[in-house]
Amino acid sequence: MREKFPRISLGLRIAFLITGVIALSVILQVFAARTFINRYIVGSGSDKVMSIAKEFAVDLDVINAFSTDEPQYIIQPIAERVREFTKTSFIVVFNMDSVRYSHPAPSRIGKRFIGGDEERALKGESYVSIARGTLTTSLRSFMPIRDEDGVQIGVVSVGLNLDDLAKETENISEIIYYIGIVTLLVGVAGAIVLARNIKKSIFGLEPAEIATLLKERDVVISSVKEGIVAVDEGGKLLLMNDSAKKLLAVQGDESPSDLSNISSSLCLQSTIVEGVASIDEEMHLSGKEVIINRIPMVSGEKVIGAVATLRDRSEMKLLAGELMAVRQYTAALRAQKHEFMNKLQVVSGLLQIGQNAEAISYIKSTVSKQQRLVDTLRLTIKPVEVLALIFAKMDEAHEIGIEININTDSYLPAMNSSSTAALITIIGNLLQNSIEALQKLDIQKKKIELSFSLRMGWLECSVSDNGGGIDPGLRANLFKQGVSSKGREHMGMGLYLVKRQVEALGGTIELCETKGVEMIVRIPEAAL
């Protein structure tokens, strides 16, 4: 007699069916993945390098640099910043003679462009090609650079390493394998759970308990400080927490129809169409600067919506400003400590050689002089943090033969903590710039003048020195990020930060030159 095979249970049949479907899907995806991914990545890479080249070719700083004696000193830093930001392999700018003004390898600047595919670009054509240059074989775009009159003056080439694109293809293929395996395992587990019991498939929860969990989820989402907005495939609003409403200036009585423009204002429609996430982008919304993340919601292979998270950038800027102020304050205190250690060493030396009377006299003289200065300035410089910074900078400058004088008519009123932190950054950087400028000069008397005054509703702060002035070639761009009057080894952040802080307070900064350099900062009294 034949033995009857036991009937296969519903759970096993569901598990076998789902496992077979998922396994077949994974196999098909694996076979199709490399061709699809390669085409997608190369296509998106071509769009990327061409878009970057278009933006770079119309940059006024780049165009104006061609008319200077040494364009590479202006163009190279710009090209490297853009290259690092966009994560491209190279951005090479060359003139009509194919001489490079920028290159990831600085030693190759000034040499001719290599590749053999640049001739069309020199004739005014924009295109994408694949060729081997000095670095490697790359996917690269060419875009003519034209001056204000429309005359071509050069070419910019933006490239992506083909090896990197190939690695990206391999990485995505591996992800697909892992997703397939995880999907297979989850599918089998889900099928088994579903076949056993419907109640177990919802973790043994009753409908009322599920409703409670949903309410709790809504409470959690609403209490999150980060703004959250979710829309469906058609851009219809699905979710918006209280933080998002605050950032977007949404009134509580507005209906969903009144919020139909939310998706477009947050650029979520492009995220849905492209299916690509964007991370930590800056946007201006309802008069506020926000940091936004946009992530597509995907079901299977279809994008069914998008989620955006929002953060108020002003809070982040405030924290950064406070951190900078603390750093300036700490550095100043360190210099002051060093100055007093020197004085203590003098006293110690006098005592060791038995000159007790001279030691006492030195202490009295030092304390008396310092105390008189402290007593005088405490009456006119109200923020103690600013006063401490000034004293520390005076000690630091004194050690290297530089005298810092404060105008006797100076007056600085008390102010709020954020304005104090901003003023520490402003005064600290301006004094430091003058100290460094005077330090490298060979003159007898090195002086810095500092003054504060209130005039017609404005606080005016002036820092001047008797140094050699500013290089005429740097004046126009002195307050831009990366520009420094102290040489290439410096990052050029000091005056850029000063300008940012001044503008944040609604003020202005002015450069005056007579025998040296004078920086005049004006801040409205209402901002203090």
Is the pLDDT at 521 greater than 90, yes or no? yes
Mean pLDDT across the chain: 77
Sheet strand arrangement including 517-524: 402-406, 446-455, 458-465, 517-524, 508-513
Is the pLDDT at 178 greater than 80, yes or no? no
User: What are the tens digits of pLDDT across the range 288-318?
Assistant: 778 888 888 887 778 888 888 888 766 665 5
- Residue 398 to residue 403: CA distance in whole angstroms: 6
- Span 257-265, average pLDDT: 65
- Span 96-120, average pLDDT: 87
- Span 132-160, average pLDDT: 85
Look at residues 498, 500, 505 and name the one whose alpha carbon lies nearest to residue 520.
498
Q: Is 161 helix (H, G, I), strand (E, B) or coil?
A: strand
7-204 belongs to CATH 3.30.450.20: yes
Q: Where do the structural domains in the chain lie, given as residue ranges?
A: 7-204, 206-312, 316-527
| Amino acid 13: pLDDT | 58
> For the ranges 71-75, 86-90, 357-361, 443-447, which has the lowest average pLDDT?
357-361
- Span 500-515, average pLDDT: 85
More confident residue, 463 or 288: 463
What percent of the chain clears pLDDT 90, i.e. is strictly above it?
11
> For the ranges 112-126, 178-192, 201-215, 510-524, which has the lowest average pLDDT?
201-215
Cβ atoms of 393 and 431 closer than 8 Å: yes
Q: Is 142 helix (H, G, I), strand (E, B) or coil?
A: strand
More confident residue, 430 or 440: 430
Dihedral sign from CA coordinates of 503, 507, 513, 517: negative
Domain 316-527 homologous superfamily, CATH? Histidine kinase-like ATPase, C-terminal domain (3.30.565.10)
- Residue 335 to residue 439: CA distance in whole angstroms: 16
| Amino acid 1: pLDDT | 40
What does the DSSP 8-state code read for residue 233? T
Q: Which amino acid is at 235?
A: G
Beta bridge partners of 296: 306
| Amino acid 4: pLDDT | 45
- Residue 333 to residue 54: CA distance in whole angstroms: 49
C-alpha neighbours within 13 Å on the C-beta side of residue 159:
27
> For the ranges 120-134, 203-217, 225-239, which has the lowest average pLDDT?
203-217
| Amino acid 143: pLDDT | 92
The DSSP secondary structure of 466-497, one letter per residue, reads: -S----GGGGGGTTSTT--SS-TTS---HHHH
User: What are the tens digits of pLDDT across the range 28-43?
Assistant: 766 666 566 566 666 7
Is the pLDDT at 433 greater than 50, yes or no? yes
User: Quick check: do 206-312 and 316-527 share a fold?
Assistant: no
206-312 belongs to CATH 3.30.450.20: yes
More confident residue, 267 or 474: 267
| Amino acid 350: pLDDT | 72
- Residue 175 to residue 181: CA distance in whole angstroms: 10
What does the DSSP 8-state code read for residue 442? -
Residues present in the chain in total: 528
| Amino acid 492: pLDDT | 45
- Span 91-115, average pLDDT: 88
